[in-house]
A and B are shown apart, each in its own frame.
Chain A
Amino acid sequence: MKLELGLIHVTDLQFGDVSKVEDHVVYINQEDIKNLILEDETIESVELHIAKPGESVRITPVKDVVEPRVKVSGNGGVFPGWTHKVDRVGEGRTHVLKGMACMTIGKIVGFQEGIIDMTGEGAKYTPFSQTLNFIMDIKPIEGLKQHDYEKAVRTANLKVSTFIGELARNVEPDEIEVYEHDNVLEGMKKYPDLPRVGYVLMLQSQGLLHDTYVYGVDAKQSLTTIIGPTELFDGAIVSGNCVSACDKNPTYIHENNPVITELLKEHGKTLNFVGVIITNENVYLADKMRSSDWSAKLCEFLGLDGAVISQEGFGNPDTDLIMNCRKIEAVGVKTVLITDEYAGQDGASQSLADATPEADAVVTGGNANVVIHLPKLDKVIGYTEYVDKIAGGWSGSLQPDGSIIAELQVITSATNEQGFNKLSAR
């Protein structure tokens, strides 16, 4: 399977009379976007904003972040099951508006974290301080239930990202990245001497604000299964996860899954990248047992030598991670785990809620409990009054001068567990 990513480097993002991409600048007509979002009758109103790297802007509480893409050739369309019909993706060519991101904010429930600072201390930790951000502040009609509001916000972002991505359909990319992988048989024949490596991608799947969708299917209702690496680059996996800002995987990161990217880069050189196994993180313990059994079985069926396992979220996913590790090691497949830590503000507490001696190779996204001081910024897009109510914040977190003292976990994607960042801990 081969997918070409045509990257269009976006150098600026502006509102304009006509929505278009021209000379690396994305212009957005506000009415286009508003009309699109307000098609949904559950949405009362929307406000649009732009935030750029280096600006004195704070965005909060961020729900999902999406990278606009468009399928130029090959089967299907981006975000299958959402903005395009359920149809296989991952082949052909996809254009990417690199350097920009679409993000939603809104108060679905009253305690959601998710801060993106475009400058200062906080900007060091979130990858989205480096993107040109198109922000949608979406307000629901009165009385809309949280479930429906979450869905409306999630869908709106996918629609808008698809719309903006579409603007890049006929733009000549600046750069083409080619990602190719082999089926099990071909890979084995082509690279008989290279170690067979797979990737176990764990998806948070526990209920409202904790869900992930694969081709439109709620991951909690699925058995552990296999997906093609490049399918993710076309938006096959979508995040409905709004809690645990620092270590949930926004759709943007699924679209740019760094483990898949790295493994594809090494495929045929140092290793044979056999495939991606997606498994869930459910609340029910029997589900955890079954899903982790299945991960190990699939690793075994694929004849893997090694598997990288990435986690999502806090607390009970530690149990899934450890179960996956133990069972996969037990079938003779070597594991490397990617996680993050809650080691306390002083770093002295036990980092994970579970542990096993087999987990001897761990990459960490850092300690999410570390206290950081975010300076007052000139402009706030969203609602900082929630800072005192969020995980990692406490009463008094929002200082009278507008600065914020809180834990790193308030920052969107700061300790990402797919290994998207350079942050680590020792």
Chain B
Amino acid sequence: MIIVTNNPDVKEKYEGIRQIEFVEGGYKDVLIRVRDLIFEGHELLTHPLMGSVKPNETPYRSIAVSRHAGKMDNDNAIMIAECMQTFEKFAAMGRRDRGRNTPEWLLEDFRYIDLTLISSAVDYH
């Protein structure tokens, strides 16, 4: 699998164990990269909105897709599109400082939660 992530902790833990595609950017940039990979035929393996930490809250996101690229999966394409809509919905609400003025200790917690969520999926597969 390929883990698309903007979370350095995920990169650190899985570097060398899983293929990592590190995205320099925010939550949305990860969604966009995953969308493009889905369009290229990679299969979506984990739900892009994993966890109940809202998309306008955490700046980190990790999503697993298949290494193999075949035919584009329509359901995957619809799912990522719907997730991007949900992201936009939340982005439009409050918390405009997301990820920028957030103190380091808080970012650390966001990274940690993102790591444990993605681990709950990839460690078993």
Interface residues of A (CB under 8 A from B): 109-111, 146-147, 204-210, 220-221, 241, 243-244, 247-248, 282-288, 313-316, 319, 342, 344-345, 349-350, 353-354, 369, 389-395, 407, 409
Contact = CB atoms under 8 A, between A and B. Distances in A.
B95 A395 contact: yes
B46 A315 contact: no
A283 B113 contact: no
B74 to A, nearest CB: 14
A282 B113 CA distance: 15
Interface stretch (B16-24, B29-37, B82-90): B82-90
A244 B52 contact: yes
B53 A111 contact: yes
B47 A369 contact: no
Contact of B109 (A146, A207, A248, A342): A146
Nearest to A351: B89
B116 A147 contact: yes
Contacts of B55: 315
Nearest to B93: A345
A207 to B, nearest CB: 4
Contact of B45 (A208, A285, A409): A285
B109 A283 contact: no
Interface in B58-103: 58, 64, 79, 82-83, 85-86, 89-90, 92-97, 101-102
Contacts of A342: 86, 89-90
B106 A111 contact: yes
Given A220-B120, A284-B125, 16 more contacts: A110-B106, A111-B110, A204-B52, A206-B50, A207-B116, A207-B118, A208-B112, A210-B52, A282-B120, A315-B51, A315-B54, A316-B50, A391-B52, A391-B56, A392-B54, A393-B95
A185 B124 CA distance: 38
